[in-house]
Structure 1
């Protein structure tokens, strides 16, 4: 094929005059910020029962944030820019009402139970808190004791003591605790990415800026922020100590992970990762692995005892570990066979099937952890990948799945996924779950017509915003100019 000289010049000129994409990230930053503002304003209007239009505005705001985040994955700004943008996007959500969940009201009621001298892991809000506090708790959890560890029980009691049970002040302090956990995550993720050989900006975009973090750690005020922050920062500290065997630093990392498990137990998985890393550093082999495992177990027991005694919470949390599974989660794959059997053979058969499937899921989780520990011990998979995969198995095969549970796996995976195809799949999953549940803190049964109308409004607004972004985005103009130039060549 002969290329005409003038065609070659045209192509060179197209490349040399190609506009920069510096304006695109800024445009997307303010698009996401505007979405966060709309989400917050719409949520306040919904709490005042303003109807489908207000809910549509909130959904549109959520959609704008998801849209801006997805397009930022193509613009690829640097890590410091992403951190500043995260702060902007979180800003409006700090003053939003609780979003997507009523769990923070359970925290407030459990804090009252503890302040009244009861063990919140044994006494439910209905028995130990005021009627006003119980009325705000979701119906599923009013009769249910706290499933959380002694560290979080201590935080609940302290916040109730400071606020005197005032719900507005209490939500504000729980949000500050969530921000503290998120700051630890922001600190830890780039360091985990460096260990795994992944670019810092990629890890921050997928692991920290994704809408699930904004919705559920900040907007929903979930204690998973503290769990993740302590677990990931402890993992970083422990793994950084291994090359030179700085034992005090390694111990500090183990203690941080143990404290994370005193918020929510799944953080305990990180002890398997750092324990296996220690065994490998000392020469490998199953004998060293077993010895390291016993050391990790002993460390967890010590942290648990000290936390329980120091916080004066007692040890009722041990018997409350199965509390979350008392509610059948429709998102958990292990419950799906039971739902199917219940629809065909009746609810009693369905519940038996759910119980059996949960046992099978637990067996599969233990088997997967053993396989992953073996692979890590032999050097076939990295420590960060091992943590991400273990958490993925726990989420997928556990008895309960909530949208924010995906963060247990997604955040460490963001620090180790090097292939773009897997990062894209993880991003699509995060985007779907970010829009799967409407921004209502509570049960939306009976509001289906309102939800349908609200989603229509939200989709229309986000669709219009996307068309505008396509017209004004420098990236879109560049891609269109490039196609024209090639066709003319």
Structure 2
């Protein structure tokens, strides 16, 4: 038996087949497998706290190995292959962290029945079996999504005949297509911002929030982000030589992203301002470009609504997500405090007032960022990241996957330093903030406590093994 001693790679080294980074890669893959196996055991109600603890440990292992990879100089191609390996087990996992995909299935059934999912809730327009799988908050609530995603929902229901397993599979396939667009776009945005491709891939694409919520959770944010980011790349790449057809194609892609979820429209402000700068700057060109973006967004919305047959009910449903009071949203915190002191009616009134204040702050912040971009004070990619950050932090609802709206463009423009570290820490915390259960876990607190004890113990043991591997490895 021979002992091979080697050093933990520095930021400029590339992992090799025999090096520690490969051990980190396969430990992360094992974490994804453990998460998937534990989630299935929880799904079929076997194993209890042990199964849930295994799933939590798997999630912790992936977060741990992701953090360790941030200390290596991993080659971008190596990182992409690692991402594929980590995603592979999650492709066959049950829906993780959220039951939203069951809402998609029920809304698709409503649309397939010839009703408007933006006006008719699953409880009214879908079968009892489909409604039973939907989270309690959304059974009586119409769809808040745009006409493009409503068309996708209906098409999947018609293809699968309402089979939930096949429906989840096709929705996950759609999410993976969106993720592939993200993987293509983030490095190109990083090149525009002068950031290394590998650091953008690590913080953005390999982020555990991407794995958990775009792949495991099957959220339509994957499609929104893929269309928005790829459209931004296409439009910005067209500006140096003013390739109008290419620029128009980018604008259309962004508009389609907004027809999944409306926040993607922010990217039109970015590319519109960039166009105004390319044409010479000044307020006249800025206003003209802004009007052109508004017209383009309206045309895409009308064409998508009519072509998909979903109509314009989605306009009335834009405020649907804010009907649920999100405890993660800072704008709701004053209302929770007031409610605890003065009662629920006062608390809800405070929440409503704080949300209006948050909207005003978002508009003011977006105007300030656009002004700086127009003056050349911030890059286009940074502008997108800052505006998305404002929407996430000051919006009426925050879900862990909403952070990706800001994290992905920020990963492509933040240089190595304090702010990049802060974003990475925030992503890691949110990746472990919610247990990998699809649905309400309020009545399972004792089980969750026991599961976290099991999970933390397993991750701590794995961390010790990895620390030892940094010093020596036994080789035959």
TM-score (norm 2): 0.96
1:21 CA displacement = 5.6
Partner Cα distance (1:113, 1:471) in 2: 55
Match for residue 227 of structure 1 among 195, 207, 224: 224
Match for residue 238 of structure 1 among 213, 235, 238: 235
Indicate the residue corresponding to 1:42 in structure 2: 38
Measured on the aligned residues, the alpha-carbon RMSD in Å equals: 1.4
Counterpart contact for 1:113–1:128, Cα < 8 Å: yes
Indicate the residue corresponding to 1:415 in structure 2: 412
Partner Cα distance (1:214, 1:231) in 2: 19
Partner Cα distance (1:285, 1:349) in 2: 46
Counterpart contact for 2:14–2:72, Cα < 8 Å: no
Counterpart contact for 1:373–1:386, Cα < 8 Å: yes
* 2:392 corresponds to 1:395: yes
* 2:303 corresponds to 1:290: no
Indicate the residue corresponding to 1:31 in structure 2: 27
Match for residue 109 of structure 2 among 93, 107, 112: 112
Partner Cα distance (1:184, 1:128) in 2: 33
Structure 1's 21 and 259: CA in aligned 2 closer, same or farther, altered over 3 A? closer
Counterpart contact for 2:14–2:74, Cα < 8 Å: no
Indicate the residue corresponding to 2:3 in structure 1: none
Indicate the residue corresponding to 2:262 in structure 1: 265
TM-score (norm 1): 0.93
1:21-52 CA distance string (max 9 Å, x none): 63121111100000000000000000111200
Which secondary structure does the structure 1 equivalent of 2:321 belong to? helix
Partner Cα distance (1:276, 1:421) in 2: 28
Indicate the residue corresponding to 1:143 in structure 2: 140
Which secondary structure does the structure 2 equivalent of 1:442 belong to? coil
Structure 1's 124 and 197: CA in aligned 2 closer, same or farther, altered over 3 A? same
Partner Cα distance (2:119, 2:80) in 1: 41
Partner Cα distance (2:372, 2:231) in 1: 22
1:420 CA displacement = 2.1
Match for residue 160 of structure 2 among 148, 163, 166: 163
* 2:383 corresponds to 1:350: no
1:424 CA displacement = 1.0
* 2:128 corresponds to 1:131: yes
1:91-120 CA distance string (max 9 Å, x none): 000000000000000000000000000000
1:477 CA displacement = 6.0
Indicate the residue corresponding to 1:436 in structure 2: 433
Once superposed, which parts of structure 1, at least 4 consecutive aligned residues long, lie more than 4 Å away? 18-21
Counterpart contact for 1:35–1:64, Cα < 8 Å: yes
Partner Cα distance (2:210, 2:472) in 1: 31
Counterpart contact for 2:15–2:74, Cα < 8 Å: no
Runs of at least 5 residues in structure 1 that lack an aligned partner in the other structure: 1-13, 479-489
Partner Cα distance (2:472, 2:263) in 1: 46
1:75 CA displacement = 1.4
Partner Cα distance (1:197, 1:312) in 2: 43
Indicate the residue corresponding to 1:469 in structure 2: 466
Structure 1's 20 and 304: CA in aligned 2 closer, same or farther, altered over 3 A? closer
1:412-434 CA distance string (max 9 Å, x none): 00000013221111110000000
Counterpart contact for 1:24–1:75, Cα < 8 Å: no
Counterpart contact for 1:103–1:137, Cα < 8 Å: yes
1:20 CA displacement = 8.6
1:457 CA displacement = 0.3
Which secondary structure does the structure 2 equivalent of 1:75 belong to? coil
Runs of at least 5 residues in structure 2 that lack an aligned partner in the other structure: 1-5
Indicate the residue corresponding to 2:451 in structure 1: 454
* 2:273 corresponds to 1:276: yes
1:189-215 CA distance string (max 9 Å, x none): 000000000000000000000100000
Q: Give runs of aligned pairs for residues 168-207 of structure 1, distance below 5 A.
A: 168-207=165-204
Partner Cα distance (1:75, 1:416) in 2: 19
Which of these two proteins has the greater Rg computed from alpha carbons? 1
Partner Cα distance (1:128, 1:48) in 2: 28
1:445 CA displacement = 1.2
1:472 CA displacement = 1.0
Q: Give runs of aligned pairs for residues 288-327 of structure 1, distance below 5 A.
A: 288-327=285-324
Which secondary structure does the structure 2 equivalent of 1:367 belong to? helix
Counterpart contact for 1:179–1:225, Cα < 8 Å: yes
1:383 CA displacement = 0.1
Counterpart contact for 1:104–1:171, Cα < 8 Å: yes
Indicate the residue corresponding to 1:254 in structure 2: 251
1:214-253 CA distance string (max 9 Å, x none): 0000000000000000000000000000000000000000
Q: How many residues align?
A: 461
